[in-house]
A and B are shown apart, each in its own frame.
Chain A
């Protein structure tokens, strides 16, 4: 029973990456006060990884096309219909 439980936690731990165990090992000193520097850098890394993953996708065609079309003032198909002139994007 006990073994099974450990096993179970062990699997979760593995999946969740070594970070967590590593972090808790190094965390005690700074747990109450500021953030552990290692955790902070890990969070920064994850945040940028998530963000850059999208950035690397580049410009989807629909947007390239949109900007190209709107370059010619006469054709101007959609500006103004998307929102009222009052709401210029400000809160």
Chain B
């Protein structure tokens, strides 16, 4: 369909969640915004192939997801400062406890296989149905369900069963330990 004003507004309205999805996937704020930008350019260039009345966010998420995956293959050997860059994208600095817990969660999320991570984010954070998530990822609904379940199990094991030693004290934790223990 042509790029009408209302379609443009709808695309604009999807930008915040596209960014959240991109950052959740890549763990890197700068790269995420590049992904979003390329997604928007692709979407606008291919707007004729968008079916009016179909799910616009799902369409945009599909583009972003596929871009991320082809990009990921190219870049997988690059070393990235995932946590540091992500932290910079936050508007407000969380309190230390929350920040640490957040970093811990972020690190655990990064340990998930990509298939599981994206399924969990789409269903658990973006709020897509299993059906929409399956369409976005190009797989069966049952596959999405099992990926989400495996992602949750693994996060649970990483965060709540194995305990702190699984992550080991990082520098922040060490500083806190040094401060309160000595």
Contacts and interface: CB of A to CB of B under 8 A. Distances in A.
Interface of A: 4, 7-9, 11-17, 19-20, 23-24, 27, 31, 35-36, 39-40, 42-44, 46-60, 62-64, 66-67, 70-71, 78-80, 82-83, 87-91
B106 A13 contact: no
Interface of B: 3, 5, 8, 11-12, 15-17, 19-21, 23-24, 33, 36-42, 44-46, 49, 62-63, 66-67, 69-70, 89-91, 96-97, 100-102, 104-106, 109, 120-121, 124-126, 138, 152-153, 155-156, 159-161, 163-164, 169, 173, 176-177, 180-181
B67 A89 contact: yes
B176 A15 contact: yes
A16 B104 contact: yes
A67 B164 contact: no
Contact of B176 (A11, A40, A88): A11
Contact of B37 (A16, A51, A55, A63): A63
Contact of B160 (A13, A39, A52, A83): A39
A79 B42 CA distance: 7
Contact of A67 (B8, B23, B97, B155): B8
Given A11-B180, A52-B20, A83-B38, 16 more contacts: A7-B181, A11-B176, A16-B101, A16-B104, A35-B153, A40-B156, A43-B159, A51-B121, A51-B125, A53-B91, A54-B20, A62-B37, A67-B11, A67-B40, A78-B41, A89-B63
A72 to B, nearest CB: 10
19 contacts: A11-B181, A12-B177, A16-B164, A17-B97, A20-B160, A23-B161, A39-B159, A43-B155, A46-B101, A46-B102, A50-B125, A54-B24, A55-B17, A62-B33, A66-B41, A71-B5, A71-B8, A89-B39, A89-B66
Contacts of A57: 16, 19, 89, 91
Contact of A13 (B121, B156, B164): B164
Contacts of A36: 156, 160
